[in-house]
Amino acid sequence: MKPHAVVLLGAPGSGKGTQAHKLTQDWGIPHISTGEILRRAVSGGHERPRDPGHQALTVEMVNRVVGNRDQLYELVARKMQAGQLVPDELMSKIVEERIKREDAQGGFILDGFPRTLVQAEFLDEVFACEDCWDPLVLNIDVDQDVLLKRATGRRMCPVCGEIYNLYFRPPQSDEVCDRDGAKLVHRADDHEDIVRARLLAYDAQTHPLIEYYAGRPYFHNVDGNLPAEAIARELARLLKAA
Ligand code: AMP
């Protein structure tokens, strides 16, 4: 049996990151989040990732793909700050380099990619490889009002990477990490105006992917309005059955 390439689809705030984190711990395959990779590159490696899968991709590698520091600002940082998408060609190159690495050969979990039809077509070429990976595309489907709260309420510990939500999973004491007491950070692009822009980008560019994958035997919709533990159980069931 070929190793799995699990692709998590879903809007910003759908809980893809949380679910990918759980899957990576349970299945021992790397979590590849394109958003994390970009944030790490933009911060010059200072932002600590929650999953070791992101450390494997060094800032140096993203810089090589992007070109130089000015390009990194223009094509990546500025787009992210505005809640817009980074160019497809760049994203596909980053993913291509990342999945070539040794640790991804036994399977991986892709979170945040593909986000456009061009990126999905690129992945189809990857999956056309006979003896590489078996794709499993899982769409986490969440109602719009829940999405906004999930994204704007999200806070992250800069030390251990733990993720909280002020509405659904607040820390015990105000905006401080339960584990290490660090002051939690509110990601710049989790502020409400940017979240709205990200949701618009999702509706226009990423939502059509559901139609693109619908009907394929390895595509499944998962109810993302359920509690995180129930979603995790459903994802694990689908992965076991695949
Ligand atoms: P995320 O953490 O997945 O919500 O991504 C944060 C931001 O990174 C997005 O709003 C985009 O600006 C950028 N980004 C991440 N993944 C992609 C992708 N596959 N294509 C284009 N832009 C991306």
Q: Which of 16, 98, 150, 155 is catalytic?
A: 16
pLDDT at 41: 86
pLDDT at 233: 96
The CB of 42 under 6 Å from ligand 1? The reply is no
Q: Is 115 a catalytic residue?
A: yes
Q: How far is the CA of 86 from the centre of ligand 1 (A)?
A: 7
Q: Ligand 1, residue 112: give the atom nearest the CA.
A: 3
Q: Which of 22, 115, 150, 155 is catalytic?
A: 115
Handedness of CA 56, 96, 189, 17 (dihedral sign): negative
Q: What does the pLDDT profile of the chain (242 residues) look like in tens digits?
A: 789 999 999 998 899 999 999 999 999 999 999 998 898 888 877 666 677 666 656 677 788 888 877 888 888 999 999 999 999 999 999 999 999 999 999 999 999 999 999 999 999 999 998 789 999 999 999 998 889 898 899 999 999 989 899 998 999 998 999 999 999 999 888 888 998 999 999 999 999 999 999 999 999 999 999 988 999 999 999 999 98
The CB of 34 under 6 Å from ligand 1? The reply is yes
Q: How far is the CA of 34 from the centre of ligand 1 (A)?
A: 6
Tracing tokens 């499944």 back to the chain, one arrives at 220
Using a 10 angstrom Cβ sphere, with 0-12 exposed, 13-18 middle and 19 or more buried, the burial of residue 44 is exposed
The CB of 91 under 6 Å from ligand 1? The reply is yes
Q: What's the start-to-end Cα distance of the chain, in Å?
A: 10
Helices 88-100/59-66 angle, 10° precision: 140
Q: Which of 149, 169, 187, 196 is catalytic?
A: 187
Q: How far is the CA of 234 from the centre of ligand 1 (A)?
A: 25
Q: Is 198 a catalytic residue?
A: yes
pTM of the predicted model as reported, rounded to 2 decimal places: 0.87
The CB of 76 under 6 Å from ligand 1? The reply is no
Rounding to the nearest 10 degrees, give the CA dihedral for residues 115, 118, 119, 123. 140
pLDDT at 58: 65
